[in-house]
Amino acid sequence: MKYEVIVSDLAEDDLVAIVEHVLSTRGVERALAVQEVLLGALESLSRNPRRGHVVPALRREGITAFRELTTKRWRVVYSVADKAVHVVAIIDASRDADSLLRERAARGATK
């Protein structure tokens, strides 16, 4: 069964910012490669949405609805409901993103 992958506006902004950053620092080829990796990760969630693990920082606060898939340098944070995957953030794995994830989880990250 294939799940629908729904990318929030905030996660879409994250993706664009990552690709633009790589474009400005590493060039077109690298930016396109990063975009391909991230879009591939999103597509993979449509086939296997539970492949990621519960976000540890959120689990410590009792929030277990959000999972993350780490690919290369990035974390794709999402929840699964019914037959849909809701992507709420795409962030650099080296970044301390605990507060960002708590904020997005608290407001439902639907926009």
Topology (CATH level 3) of domain 4-106: YaeB-like fold (3.30.2310)
Nearest CA among 25, 3, 2, 1 for reference residue 81:
3
Phi, psi of 40 (to 5 degrees): -65, -40
Q: What is the pTM of this model?
A: 0.86
C-alpha span between 71 and 80 (Å, rounded): 18
**So what's the pLDDT on residue 110?**
42
The full set of domain ranges for the chain reads 4-106
Query: Average pLDDT by consecutive 10-residue portion of the chain (111 residues)?
Result: 94 96 97 97 96 89 91 92 94 76 63 41
